[in-house]
A and B are shown apart, each in its own frame.
Chain A
């Protein structure tokens, strides 16, 4: 995206604003009649750990931060960049220096102006070892100049490659060329934080009453493990276009319990429990929604010396890959519009062309036959192989593990020992390579094939399975600087389809029950970055 396009978008948006009449009952753009009550109540499965932009790491915390704070850029309903606090930016020719121009009417909820210094402060805070943020790796991902030395404590944070040239100009210097850098400024860790509030309240600054924020909403109530309430912020620069008055998040850990409460009218949005989408969409066709997500569900194969010896043979791995009937899993188990996955990278990813591997065009019967043949070719009978299948405690993971293990058993004779572990134990077992096959899910942090395929690098932090292929590593390096890396990505997927370090199973869909009067949910935003200020309730 160039700065020109961002500018154009911004002017379209502001024209829309100017044109909008300030009649409360009609939507400014669509002229749709609005409901009298604009209160959105949704379910979260878990309490957020933090809503400090630099410390938060969970999805539910991210949803809050996008409402309470605003970064340099935002995403629109389709995931395109639109202006946030910054009106536009300019990149140097080699994409190593970015200069963001900030709007002058952005205010914090205590009335102070939002300045480039706030961003400089928060980015340095993210990388500062004293902050000890579990999300500080993101600063490394951003490739800011000197970030590694700062994070290791060898260099003062003031040396970090971010600088406020004046109140409304922010200059960013990167270690290497990075074309997609502006996309990263839509991520929550890059959002500004108010130094004066943090200095005054310490770690308590995120509590209602203390918190100062620059987003469309302010946090007004927080009852841990029960609910949190955010209400519209009249000082937000674009407040006249905000329609939802109040957003409540209720913590309900049980999917089925949450659905009951949705059906009783207590919620406007909840996740559909695994396998119930079909039945629910028959009964409530206007409420049940499903849309593709940029996430992959896959099994990874231990390829270190701790593994089952049979798994070191690529033919065995391919046999396991082929014997899984993905249609059964997506159509009979999940039933929520998920997509069978034959590649790691989802088809919905921008500019991604999947390789034309034989497995895709075969029928399942052909795949099964091929799998049996491969296993025999590798010199194994299925009964000789018994694999430890590791997954973390969850109804959905359990179902898939059981079904997959039955497919392997019935088609190949391969036995599996299911290892259901609670999350922290699972992580420990995974990093100690105490498994043969493990379960994983990955949502791309941005809409690029690299945000998936980077995981296949031999040095990636997430690579516990010990997969290392120099050709893949080289292709990934090349893709970082190449203007059009999509050929490299297709090639990597081809290699994965001969090495089989992982077994992709399906690509996610967002499957929700949603109040049918709720409008503007960004179903086209594959990263599901949604902003409450864009949502509204239409009148019945």
Chain B
């Protein structure tokens, strides 16, 4: 087990290097640069600025210096766009925000999704089942950029119950709509996966045996069925968790929560190279980490799976 984890963590290094080089090259091939502006800068000014940020070095040297700075000093460089901030500061400011509402949304999605899925599976082909399936498909296909304005219209404009945006240090009224908008479609997916995987387990031989032995339904569900039924859900949750704590661009844009998703889109549009790199690396690390967690969880639930 330990050996497996170490091996996986070691193999993350080349992965991250590939990611860094790839993003770096892609980014620098984008038209325009961080300092191209509406009124073109006089060449001597542009030269001064590029020298200040070492943008006039050869690309290979820039990549090397970047990686060196990251590895030796954990220094991701200054932001090109925001003159008084470093990438570390921008991530330190935005990531906790995204992590907070992302985690809450994740828990909400898992709890309600599983509950919905289990209810549907246990009452298969009843109206409850159809209702749950209908709700979950509906929730899955409604894009969150439609849901967000509708939520604001209802809860802010008509009812006046919740603030229409902002973060304010994460007070709960500011959390509710982002969490709903973010969790709904994931909740729906989880419910669908949970339902079909539980159904499959419930019709398998060992459950039939348990039932034949006369075990009560509740015991069958919790003691025998749920654990194997969770496997597909867990393999879905790994990447989902990363998407939820990072890919919430819509939430950031609509509710102005100031998270990492918006920071990424802005940095891509502003060609804020260093911020874009920093966030890409952060997300890359998280993706690798959670893929690993999923594999470990898998082995823990199903001892037959070898790591």
Number of A positions contacting B (CB below 8 A): 49
Q: Give, as a whole number of angstroms, the nearest-CB distance from B191 to chain A.
A: 29
* B153 close to chain A: CB less than 8 A: yes
Asked if B163 is at the interface of the complex by the 8 Å CB criterion, the answer is: yes
Can you name the residue of chain A whose Cβ is closest to the Cβ of B36? A427
**Nearest chain A residue, comparing its CB with the CB of B167:** A226
8 interchain residue pairs of minimum CB distance: A424-B32, A428-B31, A225-B258, A50-B83, A226-B258, A261-B164, A132-B48, A132-B49
A205 lies within 8 A of chain B by Cβ: yes
A99-107, A250-258, A345-353, A361-369: which lies at the interface: A250-258
Which of B41, B51, B84, B270 contacts A207, CB < 8 Å?
B84
B160 close to A (CB within 8 Å) = yes
Q: Is the CB of A137 within 8 A of B39?
A: yes
Selected from A47, A129, A257, A422, the residue in CB contact (under 8 A) with B164 is A257
B45 touches A136 (CB 8 A): yes
On whether the beta carbons of B82 and A134 are closer than 8 Å, the reply is: no
* Chain A minimum-CB-distance residue to B272: A49
**Interchain nearest-CB distance for A439 vs B (Å):** 12
* A257 x B42 contact (CB < 8 A): no
Chain B residues within an 8 Å CB radius of A50: 82-84
Q: Are the C-beta atoms of A132 and B45 separated by less than 8 Å?
A: yes
Given known A47-B82, A50-B83, contact A257–B149 (CB-CB < 8 A): yes
The 15 sampled A-B contact pairs (Cβ below 8 Å) are: A47-B82, A49-B81, A50-B82, A52-B83, A57-B37, A129-B44, A132-B48, A134-B45, A137-B42, A153-B44, A225-B258, A250-B165, A261-B165, A424-B32, A428-B36
Q: Is A396 positioned at the interface, with any CB of B under 8 Å from its CB?
A: no
Any chain A CB within 8 A of the CB of B152? yes
**Closest chain B residue to A261, Cβ basis:** B164
Asked if B90 is at the interface of the complex by the 8 Å CB criterion, the answer is yes
Interface size in chain B (residues, C-beta < 8 A): 50
Q: Which of B6-22 contact A (CB under 8 A)?
A: none
Asked if B82 contacts A224 (CB within 8 A), the reply is: yes
In the complex, A261 Cα to B148 Cα: how many Å? Answer: 13
- Of B42, B82, B83, B166, the residue contacting A461 (CB under 8 A) is B42
A225 and B48 contacting across the interface, CB-CB below 8 Å: no
CA distance A224 to B266 in the complex (A): 12
A227 is contacted by which of B39, B166, B252 (Cβ under 8 Å)?
Answer: B166
Quick check: is A223 within 8 A (CB to CB) of the other chain? yes
Distance in Å: Cβ of A454 to nearest Cβ of chain B: 12
- Annotate B200-225 by CB proximity to A: 1 below 8 A, 0 otherwise: 00000000000000000000000000
A422: nearest residue on chain B (CB-CB)? B269
* A151: interface (CB < 8 Å): yes
With most chain B CB atoms within 10 A of its CB, the pick from A57, A153, A427, A428 is A427
Task: Indicate if the CB atoms of A427 and B32 lie closer than 8 Å.
Answer: yes
Q: Mark B83-115, 1 if CB is under 8 A from A, else 0.
A: 111000010011000000000000000000000
Check A256/B149 contact, CB under 8 A, given A266-B164, A423-B269: yes
